[in-house]
Amino acid sequence: MNHKDFISIRDFSPSEIQYLLILARQVKSHPTTYCDALKRKTLAMIFEKPSLRTRVSFDVGIQQMGGFSIYLSPAEINLGKRESVYDVAKNLERMVQGIMVRTFAHEIVEEMARNASIPVINGLTDFCHPCQAMADYLTMWEIKGNLEGLKVAFVGDGDNVAHALMFAGAQVGAHVWVASPRGYEPVEAAVKWSVERGRETGGTCHITNDPAEAVASADVVYTDVWASMGQEAEAEKRDKDFRGYQVNAALFHKAKRDAIFMHCLPAHRGKEVTDEVIDSPQSVVFQQAENRLHAQKAIMLELMKGEFVKLPGLVELQELVHV
């Protein structure tokens, strides 16, 4: 791979996404192999939006590979207000070896990547959540044994998580269905890209307003909160608009008998999902959460390893995980 940053799954080829997933499985299976791979390297973690899983997985991940992390809160940076994105990028590139940004506007991460000479990782923007999707498809692969041809049904807001699932699904040849209320569908540009990339890989992307259509015979049923961070003022309206989009037992049973349930968490139980679904044996939400650690370790390894750390290539990794 020849990429400096991890901003969107769209920036990579299908084989590069496959490589990162294989590397993540290798890192998960043999963590001690990589315990010094990022020795003495430092990751700056910029959080304009708080998070449990993103902070812990990046913090623990780089430490498990011999590096360090620095947490930077909104009060310390306040991107674009207290200090320009350009100035932050130029300061950090002289002090650390990588930057993770979890923020609102996607343009902030893109601007950071343009101006920083060191790797920049998108920890979440309002447009997409690529690290989450890598963990999601790693989880599907572990459980289902294959990604090509899987039907992945996302029920809820066509937001950043839906976009990332669509992008990654198109890269691996999955069939992604997104069921959203009218006015909440994924953005047209995201759908268009996913459809076009799917023509190369055998993947497809379908948008519907009917949850039952999306979930029918699905291998994976996925949902997310109806009101994300920054949308609290819309919560009451969204609760009404999404009333028919709850993943409950009746809807989940329209999927395949061996379907799995996924949620990027945190979950609002009793709203987008019922306890009987999220706590069922078919729910893999905590395996999915753990895989944030392994997927992001693979991303950091690939971007931050430097010229002196040699990692296995795609063929060697395929042999190690018996693809």
Please compute the mean of the pLDDT values over residues 84-99 and round it to a whole number: 96
Beta-bridge partners for 220:
152, 260
> 146 is written with which tokens?
């294959």
What the chain holds in terms of domains, given with CATH numbers, is 9-128+292-307 (3.40.50.1370), 132-287 (3.40.50.1370)
pLDDT of the residue at 320: 63
For residue range 15-70, list pLDDT tens digits in order.
Answer: 999 999 999 999 999 999 999 999 999 999 999 998 999 999 999 999 999 999 99
Percent of residues, the chain, with pLDDT higher than 90? 87
For residue range 117-175, list pLDDT tens digits in order.
Answer: 999 999 999 999 999 999 999 999 999 999 999 999 999 999 999 999 999 999 999 99
Distance CA 68, CA 76 (A): 19
What pTM does this model have? Answer: 0.94
3-state secondary structure of 306: coil
Active site residue 132: yes
Which residue among the candidates 18, 171, 224, 246 is catalytic per the annotation?
Answer: 224
Residue with structure tokens 């010094």? 36
| DSSP state string for 156-189 | S--SHHHHHHHHHHHHHT-EEEEE--TT-SPPHH
pLDDT of the residue at 308: 45
Q: What is the dihedral of CA 145, 151, 156, 160, to 10 degrees?
A: 60
Which residue among the candidates 18, 132, 246, 288 is catalytic per the annotation?
Answer: 132
Predicted confidence (pLDDT) at residue 264 exceeds the cutoff of 50: yes
pLDDT band at 233; cut points 50, 70, 90: confident
Which residue among the candidates 53, 102, 106, 175 is catalytic per the annotation?
Answer: 102
Mean of all residue pLDDT scores within the chain? 94
CA 141 to chain centre: 15
Active site residue 10: no
Residue with structure tokens 């009987």? 276
Distance CA 266, CA 269 (A): 9
CB 35 within 8 A of CB 137: no
Which residue among the candidates 129, 197, 238, 263 is catalytic per the annotation?
Answer: 129
Residues in Cβ contact with 280 at an 8 Å cutoff, skipping those fewer than 6 apart: 252, 261
Active site residue 3: no
Predicted confidence (pLDDT) at residue 322 exceeds the cutoff of 70: no
Which residue among the candidates 53, 292, 294, 296 is catalytic per the annotation?
Answer: 292
Between 273 and 318, the higher pLDDT residue:
273
Active site residue 129: yes
Active site residue 163: no
Which residue among the candidates 18, 264, 288, 294 is catalytic per the annotation?
Answer: 264
pLDDT of the residue at 46: 97
Active site residue 102: yes
pLDDT of the residue at 227: 85
